Amino acid sequence: MSDETGLPDAAAAPEGASRKLLVTHAVLVGLTPLIPVPVVDDLVKSHLLRRMVRALASGHGHRLSPEEVEALTAERGGGCLGGCLGQVLLYPLKKIFRKIFFFLEWKRAADLTSRTYHYGYLIDHALRPRADGARLIERKPAAEVGAAIDAVCREAPIKPLESAVGATFRGSKNVLAGAAKILERALRRRGAPRPDPRAVAEAVESVESEEERQIEGVTRGLQGAIANIPEEHFRLLRYALDARLGVAPERRERL
């Protein structure tokens, strides 16, 4: 069953579903550096992040306004401008030094997957009802929550998750490259290799099921690897966000 947003109506979604959603979106976002079209890769990333936030909220029976979604997913620390410009300037060099940039893009893909999982994990934490029934996202403005999550993600050690992602990616490069190609072809078919957010969104949604099937084995393996990361790592993430927002921490099971 779905609501008018097209997202599952799952007020009591099991934690396993949230965990799979987080891993799937983290991997898909991580693949965006492999899209060989400057600017468009950032548009795909932004679309996927917004979709993940809306789906997490829906899974907790909560509806976020478009303004809240934008506040939670806003680029901070310079935003896309510098990064997009840099990508455009680097694009001709990538064709010359392919092997070097191939290695760097895979490293960036793994890093981005790790960062996205941390980000999504903390978004989920902010959306969960606490002991008094209220959510962080209801206690604090979305922009403040988003800024706090961004700060925690920048400061938190990502090594435990980075190692899990790196190991998973090293054994799955052909599968992941195939998933990136599926999206690249969809973008080209729809004339989306131009900075048009609507065309990019349509292209991403048109191959959602196909891409997720392609990476299913990767996401399953990564979920297993994440399950072996000590709970202390995730507890410290939750406590760091609570402290930044000035609320008392709560203990709960991790995703």
Query: What is residue 50's predicted lDDT score, i.e. its pLDDT?
Result: 96
- From first to last of its 255 residues, the chain has per-residue pLDDT tens of 333 334 433 333 336 678 899 999 999 999 998 887 777 888 899 999 999 999 999 999 999 999 999 999 988 654 333 344 344 444 454 444 444 444 567 888 888 999 999 999 999 999 999 888 889 999 999 999 999 999 999 888 878 898 899 999 988 989 998 998 998 888 888 765 566 888 889 989 999 999 999 999 999 999 999 999 999 999 999 999 999 999 988 766 556
Q: What is the 3-state secondary structure (H, E, C) of 150-195?
A: HHHHHHCCCHHHHHHHHHHHHCCHHHHHHHHHHHHHHHHHCCCCCC
Query: What is residue 98's predicted lDDT score, i.e. its pLDDT?
Result: 46
DSSP string over the chain? -B-TTSSB--TT--HHHHHHHHHHHHHHHHTGGGS-STTHHHHHHHHHHHHHHHHHHHHTT----HHHHHHHH---SSHHHHHHHHHHHHHHHHHHSHHHHHHHHHHHHHHHHHHHHHHHHHHHHHHS--TTS--HHHHS-HHHHHHHHHHHHHHS--HHHHHHHHHHHHT-HHHHHHHHHHHHHHHHHTT-SSS-HHHHHHHHHHTHHHHHHHTHHHHHHHHHHHHTS-HHHHHHHHHHHHHHHT---------
Contact yes or no for 48/56 (Cβ under 8 A): no
Query: What is residue 162's predicted lDDT score, i.e. its pLDDT?
Result: 87
Q: Is the pTM of this model over 0.85?
A: no
Query: What is residue 101's predicted lDDT score, i.e. its pLDDT?
Result: 43
Query: What is residue 15's predicted lDDT score, i.e. its pLDDT?
Result: 61
- Please name every residue paired with 8 in a beta bridge, in sequence order, or none if there are none: 2
Enumerate the domain spans of the chain: 15-245
Query: What is residue 9's predicted lDDT score, i.e. its pLDDT?
Result: 37
Query: What is residue 81's predicted lDDT score, i.e. its pLDDT?
Result: 33
Residue 79 phi/psi, 5-degree rounding, is 65, -155
Q: Give dist(CA 240, CA 125) in Å, integer.
A: 12
